[in-house]
Chains A and B, each alone.
Chain A
Amino acid sequence: MRLKKLNSEELIELLEIFFAEYDLIAPFKVEQGRLNRVLFRKIRQNNEIPSIYLKEMPETTPKNFILPRDERLDFERFNSEREENENSLARAKTRLFFGVRSCDLAAIELFDDVFLDEDYLDPFYESRREKNIFIGYSNQILPPNNFQKELEIGYFDHQLAPAFIYEDLEARGREHYWLKIKAGYQFSKDVEAHLDNLETGEIGNLEKLLNDWEDKFTGETDFEIKNKLPFPEKEVFNQVDWQEPTASCLGCGVCTYYCPTCFCFDFFWDGSTKNRAWDSCMFSLFTEHASGHNPREEQHQRWRQRLLHKFSYHPQNYNDKPGCVGCGRCIYKCPVNLDIRNVINAVDKTLVKGGQASEER
């Protein structure tokens, strides 16, 4: 493991070198209507680099680039291009996502489990997933409504990121940014040459810093999940009062569209080509049959599906890993501030009452 200390100018220089080498994608702060938003954007010019905004958690995630909202599924073209050039993507530059939070990296890992599964390989996802580098980011501010710790997702590292950057917002100069590069990982020659010029940091100091941050985060909320995942489907399905905690749901798709882990989509035809676009289980059309019958007639039933998919079905299928990374986006993007933690809490309480709680978690 290597550790480098950087000041703001050195970080910008480093990003300029990244930009020359890769397709650089990073978060920016933009004003849209009444909203001040932080969004991931592809960088087009060098002079955009100083405006990269890392402090707050971005609203969007690399999901928008890897599993886009709209996609043409042109198998014929896709396959012929692959045949022509065995590695057709070799022509394209590697994409470098800069400033990705650990929870969002966990979300990409979750997509990999689903879409790169040997039995159900998704070639379109696979082609977008190739040639990506993620550089993680963390600072001492816990994003609003974040509960990733409850889902056992650490703040300060993730296996998908070969390098992680830490910003100490209270420090100045070279103590401001810390760049950690994993053992054995080599960037390209140019980047490495630049890295050599940077001051090396003490691992112990960084660890102390991160421990301080983690202590700051603990005790921020009273939220906890007492039961082990996956939630037992049958008990939860029938015993929980789904209506009470979800009564304020309007049935819009905001929670799912901004969720870094939701991946349901809808197929449709555009002339003779097949397309897919994001869909949402919160919509009444999601399960409507051609006959007009809808097995999930009411909004609370749709909520039950959403929660059970994330905390029962997904962990059942993928080694107890929840289908939620606790980033908190669905909570602060919700137009009525419906909190998924209230719903989890309702399930948890019902299970505890029914004696389903396991001894340990």
Chain B
Amino acid sequence: MTNSYKEITEDLQDIIEQIYKQEEFDRLLAYGRGLFSGLIEPVIVDKEAELDLDRLEFTDEAYQMLSKYLLKNRELKQVVVAKPCDTRAIAFYISENIIARDNLIVVGINGCPGIKDNTACDECDSKNPVIADYTAGNLMPEDEFAKDKSDLKYLLSEENQVTRKNHYTKEFMRCTQCYACRDACPVCYCDHCFVESNQPVWLEAGSGPEEDMVFHLMRTMHMPGRCVNCGACEMACPEGIEMRSLTSHLYHQAREYFDFRPGLAVDQKSLFSDYNEEDPEPGFLQQEGD
């Protein structure tokens, strides 16, 4: 069974109090309630700074991916409160040598009860942390969370190309090119994103269906083997664009064909650097009648 938000919050407060007493670290990343807004926001504080432990909280609104903030200060020793999807992103960072394991103290959330309005939680296949130094809540038996992905109609894989193109053109028309999806995504961490490149210019300034499509499809193409299916992109989108159907599609395909899910272990090989002669060759490489 999943844990209640209250249990997790209480556990987290105890654990963090303990960490303050026992551990050497530079910075804490946790969730807390906003002073004026009352909304759940990331609490990012240095060890020396004052912190009211009672402010820390975990609720169904803690949708932000704290793993993303680890990248800003890789050289510091950081304590991070991590949902299971966050721990997968962290394991992925470690497997890619982006961040050192020794620089992290991971407070994982066991039996994650999920995030409100996040459709990724409905198809979540990792409700316990992949790596953790401390854990809040009780571990959830693996067989309790379904691996069934039978009802993923939104993926549009059955639809023909024209329907799909029309759907995404309409959906991406709303894109304001704020790039919040990219900024919120824990595994979008290129030092220099192609949208910010001006030599060559991949993306013309201004809005237009072509520009919107170029951005979203190019981001999608960078995602297979990286996307941990956390849903942060859609949660961040101010226009409610359902771009996760693209990345999620690739996530499920990699799982189906190669039994590959990113961020399951710190020594995992990446999807594209690991090859096996037995691997299926789906898609355009497959000839008719194969």
Contact = CB atoms under 8 A, between A and B. Distances in A.
A254 B176 CA distance: 9
Interface stretch (A111-119, A203-211, A312-320, A338-346): A338-346
Interface string B71-99: 00000000000000000000000000000
Contacts of A270: 204, 206
Interface of A is mostly: loop
Nearest to B44: A247
Nearest to A331: B37
A32 B207 contact: no
Contacts, number: 118
Contact of B64 (A251, A252, A332, A336): A336
Interface residues of A, number: 42
Contacts of A333: 238
B26 to A, nearest CB: 13
Contacts of A244: 45, 49
Interface of A: 32-35, 37, 69-70, 145, 147, 221-223, 244, 247-248, 250-254, 257-258, 266, 268, 270, 275, 277, 280, 283-285, 331-333, 335-339, 341-342, 345
A342 B43 CA distance: 12
B35 A335 contact: no
A231 to B, nearest CB: 18
B39 A337 contact: yes
Given A254-B180, A277-B206, A341-B36, A335 B236 contact: yes
Contact of B206 (A145, A247, A268, A335): A268
List 9 tightest A-B contacts by C-beta distance, closest first: A33-B240, A35-B240, A335-B236, A252-B180, A250-B183, A32-B240, A247-B44, A268-B205, A248-B42
Contacts of A221: 36
Contacts of A331: 37, 39
A33 B41 contact: no
Give the residue among B196, B205, B234, B235 with the most A Cβ atoms within 10 A.
B205
A252 B236 contact: yes
Contact of B178 (A222, A257, A284): A257
Given A266-B205, A335-B236, 19 more contacts: A32-B239, A37-B240, A145-B36, A247-B42, A248-B69, A252-B178, A252-B182, A253-B177, A257-B178, A258-B238, A270-B204, A270-B206, A277-B207, A331-B39, A335-B184, A337-B41, A339-B41, A341-B36, A342-B35
28 contacts: A32-B174, A32-B240, A33-B237, A33-B242, A34-B117, A34-B240, A35-B240, A37-B240, A70-B206, A147-B36, A222-B35, A248-B42, A248-B69, A250-B68, A250-B236, A253-B178, A257-B178, A275-B206, A283-B196, A285-B196, A335-B183, A335-B235, A335-B236, A335-B237, A336-B64, A337-B39, A337-B64, A339-B35
Nearest to A258: B238
A289 to B, nearest CB: 12
